[in-house]
Homo-oligomer: A and B are copies of this chain.
Amino acid sequence: MNNFSFYSPTYFCFGKDTENEAGNLVRRFGGTKVLIHYGGGSVVRSGLLDRVKKSLEDADIPFAELGGVQPNPRSGLVYQGIELVKKEQIDFLLAVGGGSTIDSAKAIAAGAVYDGDFWDFYSGKRIEKALPVGTILTIAAAGSEGSPDSVITNEDGMFKRGASGDAIRPRFSILNPALTQTLPPYQTACGITDIMAHLYERYLTNTKEVEVTDRMIEALLLTMVHEGPRVIADPNNYEARANIMWAGMMAHNNSCGVGRSQDWNSHNIEHELSALYDCAHGAGLAVAMPAVMTYVMDHDVMRFAQAAVRVWGCQMDFACPENTAKAGIQAFRNFLTSIGMPKNFEELGAKEEDIPKLVDVLCNGDGRKGSISGFVTLTEEDCTNIYKLML
């Protein structure tokens, strides 16, 4: 196990009706004037926005609003938010929505107290200072409610980049599983896929002797395998939603990723897909992950066999572990298909002729020099082969 530090100071308020605690929590964590940041109409239509406003009013906390966050959140709205925060002398960001809204709020929070262009943070500069952020989560997926990370799409070129820093970790996150019950099944399935991807990216490690985190990752994957189909079958299943929501947070606050190398190549390979086609991140991952796994399986057959046996209930083929490893990847693929995820380029709306362009941006953008690194270092040729496996 490698040396590490772990820090997850977010206060989580979990369960039914917890959005009514928003005002109290903003006050507890020092906010005196709030920007409520949100996405589209569902937060408005469901009455959630009104309940949040009432909670702030009850706590005597004034607020401004900025809606319009899109999936794969854009730099343009971040600039707009930064301006608004400065003009209105806002000192607390309250994100009401999913990972996109939270990531956008984090970017505004960091940009509002920085003299330069906020994009510096998405070009490699560590975030050291930010306004406090709170969240009210409406989809279990990105794990941004408990993470120090934010991903924004730069409209000038439509490329996605990430930024990080403890300063943008939410001070509090309100997790009410009932708020996710109105999600369409496709979005729910995308969330499930994203959570499982966060787990697999940590599972694919080159660090030896990491039984505790292996077991924790497997535990959370097993939870998703059990609860995923239940919530797809019955979107109103509060209990299944609750288990998925806590698993989603635990999957990405890194308590199960400490002390080990991680992969993240599937995420990198997917980012180019959702940037180019504006598809859902989870849907892109559903297509990318099994392809990546199949391509890199030989790098550590026993690791894939372990997941196959422990998570997917495959029988170990002691004579030929490769068979077990393959069976596990196939079981994962079948699971994703069963919850309604796309399985190839066509279903995703991606095009074979774009592969050279995807590979070029992937391997040479963002300061990279012809490859991406993770569980296995992948060259342009490797990435081309992986995209071809998705056809």
Contact = CB atoms under 8 A, between A and B. Distances in A.
A246 B5 contact: no
A40 interface: no
Contacts of A216: 216, 219-220, 250
Contacts of A15: 1-4, 259
A243 B5 contact: no
A21 to B, nearest CB: 9
Identical chains in the assembly: 2
B1 A5 contact: no
Interface stretch (A92-100, A205-213, A262-270): A205-213
A258 interface: yes
Contacts of A5: 11-14
Contacts of A322: none
B211 A223 contact: yes
A13 to B, nearest CB: 5
Contacts of A50: none
- Residue of A1, A11, A211 contacting most chain B CB atoms (<10 Å): A211
A7 B11 contact: yes
Contacts of A240: 209
Contacts of A219: 212, 215-216, 218-219
Interface string A183-214: 00000000000000000000000001111110
A68 interface: no
Contacts of A242: 1, 209, 259
11 contacts: A6-B11, A7-B12, A14-B259, A209-B240, A210-B243, A212-B246, A212-B250, A213-B246, A215-B220, A216-B216, A216-B219
The 3 A-B pairs with the shortest beta carbon distances in the complex, nearest first, are A3-B15, A9-B9, A209-B239
